[in-house]
A and B are shown apart, each in its own frame.
Chain A
């Protein structure tokens, strides 16, 4: 499956002329049981793609909500290995919803690129997004992931200029993640009118790969606005906050409202 599962889901969304809704959660936040319940509920709530964070002690690009989620997950004993176990259990009942892992390089490096690639593919992971691994440093990791059909999702940012963009999307697969504002997660949000031209620029450079837009999208209104132009809308900190304050059911309710907003945005 793997990258093929991502491709199939984006093809489906394109056929329905709508953006995909990508829901982010942190593995093991607040514990493995509730994390699994949330994972299982998300596809029913309308998540097209699941982005599962694995915790890191030093999440340099995260704002306070995901920093706190990372800490809760670590306190609950979450590791990269237990994150893969969570995916395995999720996959036992769910074959269609693509899932990518997101986090920082050191846990993956420590696990070993080759061992990680085969274990992740076996667990049912479809791709990997590493915040602190720019294309200049990514070849070894991509070489390890490729044989297992796992996507290494590339990130583009507002600071990525036209000259640099081709290097950023070289070897991209699955989709490209556009970090729509310069900043950490969960704080600022981009003005909707700046998103459309950026998405077009990136999609063209990446040979038509879908472009997902994230950072600072919290409400159904914001999600719908971004969904006009983007191929996918990513919501993370808002869901993580709701989970922390009101629990799994409330987070699923919010995911469902966001998914509806994304689905209906172009109608």
Chain B
């Protein structure tokens, strides 16, 4: 992969929506004019101080930004104790986006896109959701602005994320359970695209991660980059220096790219954690970069889980939010060019980290950041004493308590239970 000259990482994508060979706009002709119109509208909004001021105002007073940067002292001490040499561990900080209104980073993007949809005169909002966090955030901003909202959600996910389904209904959204495929996020996204291509006049498709046809990957990243901008300023203020590493879980990649992007030109390691499900060799995982190869799906070229014929494989993760066989194109490019690194954590490792964080820090994380928590100890030890590692605590775990209870009941000899 052609790596760009130093200090130009953040200048991507190019005008065609390309991050190197990745990204682009692979959509049906019916949607192409809409995607181009969105690109124009977004570029205009991005350059309009009034739009940015309106967004900032909502982020402050409705979402609750800035989110705190918290020194996870007990988790740090725990991992320092686990170190081979003992005590050789960087400080672990949580960027607390789980404290946002609706409980995850998803609302940062939803607030930006709903203001754009209003600017474009769209009167009906559709979205896909996996964990339901994006669905809840979309339903929330739709309620706030009085717009009808249809959420496509895989039937499997409707089952395993019941609290969020109820929240969306309370917020006035219509939930459409999707039974095609295996009934998870990829199938929900197919169905949302089918709705969009059918309702081209009035409908705005509010994609929930940094993937899809250009401009979505860049636009969602820009709206999520508030995470990294705040974290950068907060680290400088608190520690007088930049962190040595940033760590985030990877579903479609929006919370990770939001944290990473403002650090792209800095000497800071960027590490994304993919979901390894039952293990990379089990064939049941969601690690598209570690276990997949490049292809085209949902409007962009990127790493995908696929068979030899180019058929997309079903992903698996205990975390519905990571259960997606693709990844945003910017991550595909950052991986190939070596600017970011990607590791994995299994369902079991995430479950253990979930409980560990709850008991050590009094913070019940979502299962998504629990994957990042599962690797943060080893990363903090690699960085070593005196260093700083920022972990994106991108969601809280209220939505996951039933899933976790089921998983623990099914594994009476679960290592995490005995460890803690």
Contact = CB atoms under 8 A, between A and B. Distances in A.
A57 B311 contact: yes
Interface in B1-60: 16, 24-34, 36
Nearest to A131: B28
A204 interface: no
Contact of A159 (B34, B299, B309): B34
Given A67-B180, A159-B34, A182-B200, A134 B27 contact: yes
Interface stretch (B85-93, B168-176, B191-199, B263-271): B191-199
Given A58-B190, A67-B180, A184-B198, A157 B29 contact: yes
Of B16, B24, B180, B306, the most chain A CB neighbours within 10 A belong to: B180
B406 interface: no
A155 B310 contact: no
Interface in B270-310: 295-299, 304, 306, 308-310
Interface residues on A, range: 35 or more
Contacts of A107: 309-311
Contacts of A160: 29, 32-33
B77 interface: no
Interface residues of B, number: 36
Contact of B29 (A57, A63, A156): A156
B186 interface: yes
B30 A105 contact: no
A109 B309 contact: no
Given A60-B194, A60-B298, A159-B33, A105 B309 contact: no
B181 interface: yes
B310 A106 contact: yes
Interface stretch (A16-24, A74-82, A225-233): A74-82
B1 to A, nearest CB: 17
B186 A158 contact: no
B19 to A, nearest CB: 14
Interface residues of chain A: helix, strand, loop or mixed (majority): loop
A60 B25 contact: no
B274 to A, nearest CB: 20
B309 A81 contact: yes
Contacts of B296: 104-106, 109, 132
A104 B27 CA distance: 10
Given A107-B310, A184-B194, A161 B33 contact: yes
Contacts of A79: 308-309
B198 A182 contact: yes
A179 B199 CA distance: 15
Contacts of A158: 30
Interface in A131-163: 131-134, 136-137, 155-161
Interface string A73-93: 010000111000000000000
B309 A132 contact: no
B312 interface: yes
A80 B311 CA distance: 10
Contacts of B34: 159
A155 B311 CA distance: 23
Contacts of B308: 79, 110
B120 to A, nearest CB: 15
A108 B310 contact: yes
A110 B295 contact: yes
B16 A136 contact: yes
Interface string A41-64: 000000000000001111111010
A80 B25 contact: no
B25 A134 contact: yes
Given A58-B297, A60-B190, A105-B296, A80 B29 contact: no
A136 B311 contact: no
A184 B197 contact: yes
B310 A109 contact: yes
A155 B295 contact: no
A136 B25 contact: yes
A131 B194 CA distance: 13
B186 to A, nearest CB: 7
B130 to A, nearest CB: 15
Nearest to A163: B33
Given A132-B296, A136-B16, A184-B194, A106 B312 contact: yes
Of A57, A61, A131, A136, the most chain B CB neighbours within 10 A belong to: A57
Given A132-B296, A183-B198, A184-B194, A159 B30 contact: yes
8 contacts: A57-B312, A74-B311, A109-B296, A132-B28, A159-B33, A160-B33, A182-B30, A183-B197
In the A-B complex, the 9 residue pairs with the smallest Cβ-Cβ separation, listed nearest first, are A110-B310, A107-B310, A157-B30, A79-B309, A183-B198, A106-B310, A57-B311, A155-B29, A57-B312
Interface of B: 16, 24-34, 36, 180-181, 186, 190, 193-194, 197-200, 295-299, 304, 306, 308-313
Given A63-B194, A106-B306, 14 more contacts: A56-B310, A60-B197, A79-B308, A107-B309, A107-B311, A109-B296, A111-B310, A134-B25, A134-B27, A157-B30, A157-B33, A164-B32, A184-B197, A188-B198
